[in-house]
Amino acid sequence: MNSQINVSNWSLALAFILVVISLVISYRQKLKLEKETIISVVRAIVQLIIVGYLLKFIFNVDNWLLTLIMQLFIIYNAARNGKKRSQGIPGAFVISWWGLLLSTTITMSILVLTGVLKFEPYQMIPVTGMVAGNSMTAVGLVYRSLNQQFRDQQGQVFERLALGASPKLAAGEIVREAIRTGMQPTIDSVRTYGLVSLPGMMSGLIMAGVDPIHAIKYQIMVVFMLLSATGISSVFASFMAYRKFFNERWQLQLPKK
Amino acid sequence: MTKLVVDQAGYQVEGRQIWHDISFELHDGDWVTVVGPSGGGKSTLLKAIAGLQDITEGHIFLNDEDVMRLPIGDYRQQVSYATQSAQLFGETVRDNLDLPYLVRQQTPNEQQQIAGLEQMDLPADYLDKAVTELSGGERQRVGVLRNLLFPPKVLLLDEISTGLDAETKQVIWRAIHALHARERLIVLSVTHDEGEIADAQDILTIQNGEGARRHEQSN
Ligand SMILES: Nc1ncnc2c1ncn2[C@@H]1O[C@H](COP(=O)(O)OP(=O)(O)OP(=O)(O)O)[C@@H](O)[C@H]1O
Ligand SMILES: [Mg+2]
């Protein structure tokens, strides 16, 4: 790993020109995105600096408990984000939390138990972030799909209930569609791997000087990992969240936004 | 024997009292025509009786059992609500006619389904027709047939023939009258149809938040 790329502070400052370009575009085109752009750039810089030092600290300490806490913290943040995307589905945080915990735990355990990954902070934490992040996106899509479908198909669900169907039977199709929606982006992006984009992990490894053939192995692992993680979290979130659209008297109750 | 009792029932939604203090008692074979101005609360009353929404005051009893305490799925199989402009679900007519079997944990009986379609003046091969390809009248006939495949104890009809042509109306009513005569179900039928109201012997008027029943003993 001697050909590592190294970004000097000076070249990073110059790269800030890129932000200026987007600010100029926003200003000229009256997009009114200047303020938002500056805030998000500053936020990103601050967050990344903090995380950078935090990671350096955790890697140095190399303590399994600290690693575990950091992993749970990542999942907690992802679950909060999942709740935000739920448009008022009751109990969305709890569902997101357990869904993400389940998908991350299963996926990571398999990777560790099969010896693909080592339980070391420098491996565990980035991969947990990747798994939890993708699961979070999947869960968010599941919520959006459920909200959308229950609103669009209110009449059909009502008719099923009127005929005596349980919520499970009345919402069966909706739940299946929500699961598909949650998993679709992962499947789609995997399909174009190498053709359109070199996925993040692989690019990172190659830029860091790793042999592409070696990097491929990691990327294949990532594919397996993301398919499993989005699958588990989509199934869990769909099955837990659809119930929230009904009360205990089997009546449809759309969440108030 | 079936007995349906509505006892001092009231319904409030979003802080507004839609109707209150409605009481009546029905026995098997009763056919009640429900009338009243638009927005008066006829549909909400029928949905409340079907357990599709809950009354906020009073009680509803089916055979002396409080509806709030009965398993809701079983109850809705007995007290079946059919609405104007029925929405069909799934892909095909079969999906719709299968559901009454599925809720009873039974395998769909294709012969019964076809017999039902024929009673509704629809050909047997409609079973696999896409729901999007049906005309309004055909859709309504399939919709009502879902409620009739397993005769309920109480049939709640919410303007089921509004906006249909005379012939389709006749087909639907013939099927329902036949079932009513054979199974002696209780029927509550909401209508704005002058002719239907003129023929009615037992009328429940929902107006100004109150219910008044007028019963002509003609038998
Ligand atoms: N879920 C609800 N939320 C708010 N208001 C409602 C709800 N359901 C019914 N209402 C109100 O209750 C009133 C009675 O409605 P309902 O549908 O029972 O009238 P209706 O007698 O069936 O009228 P129509 O003859 O036009 O069908 C209406 O004013 C309606 O706006
Ligand atoms: Mg109505």
Q: Residue B24 belongs to a domain with what CATH number?
A: 3.40.50.300
Give the count of domains, chain B: 1
- Listing DSSP states for A150-175 in one string gives HHHTHHHHHHHHHTT--HHHHTHHHH
Domain map of chain A by residue range? 7-61, 62-245
Q: In which element (H, E) is residue B4 found?
A: strand B3-13
Q: Does A251 touch chain B (CB under 8 A)?
A: yes
What is the three-class DSSP state of A198?
Answer: coil
The span from the CA of A110 to the CA of A115, in Å, is: 8
Q: Which of B11, B12, B16, B18 to mutate to test the pocket of ligand 1 (most atoms within 8 A of CB)?
A: B18
Nearest protein CA to atom 1 of ligand 1, as residue = B13
Q: Do B81 and A162 touch (CB under 8 A)?
A: yes
- Least Cα distance to B100 among B123, B121, B124, B73 occurs for B73
- Ligand 1 neighbourhood includes B38 CB (under 6 angstroms): yes
Considering only the beta carbons, identify the residue of A158, A165, A249 that sits closest to B99.
A165
Distance between alpha carbon B106 and the CA centroid of its chain, in Å? 22
**How does pLDDT run along chain B (219 residues), one tens digit per residue?**
899 999 999 999 999 999 999 999 999 999 999 999 999 999 999 999 999 999 999 999 999 999 999 999 999 999 999 998 899 999 999 999 999 999 999 999 999 999 999 999 999 999 999 999 999 999 999 999 999 999 999 999 999 999 899 999 999 999 999 999 999 999 999 999 888 898 899 999 999 999 999 887 544
CA quadruple B42, B43, B47, B49: dihedral, nearest 10: 20
Nearest protein CA to atom 25 of ligand 1, as residue = B38
Question: What does the buried/exposed string (b/e) look like for B27-53 if buried means 16 or more CB atoms within 10 Å of the residue's CB?
Answer: eeebbbbbbbeeebbbbbbbbbbbbbe
CA atoms within 13 A on the CB side of B94: 12
Token pair 């349906």: residue: B4
Least confident of A8-22, A138-152, A197-211: A197-211
What is the three-class DSSP state of B100?
Answer: helix
pLDDT digits (tens, 9 = 90+) for B21-47: 999 999 999 999 999 999 999 999 999
CB within 8 Å of A4: residues ≥ 6 apart: A208, A209
Q: Do A161 and B74 touch (CB under 8 A)?
A: no
ipTM of the shown complex? 0.95
CB pairs under 8 A between A and B: 65
Instruction: Tell me if A250 sits within 8 A of A167, measured CB to CB.
Output: yes
What is the residue range of B43's domain?
A: 3-87+137-215
CB within 8 Å of B82: residues ≥ 6 apart: A162, B143, B144, B146, B147, B155, B156, B157, B158, B160
Instruction: Tell me if A201 sits within 8 A of A218, measured CB to CB.
Output: yes
- Least Cα distance to A229 among A116, A103, A113 occurs for A103
The span from the CA of A188 to the CA of A210, in Å, is: 26
Residues that place a CB less than 5 A from ion ligand 2: B 43
Which residues of chain A have a CB within 8 Å of the CB of B87? Answer: 155-156, 158-159
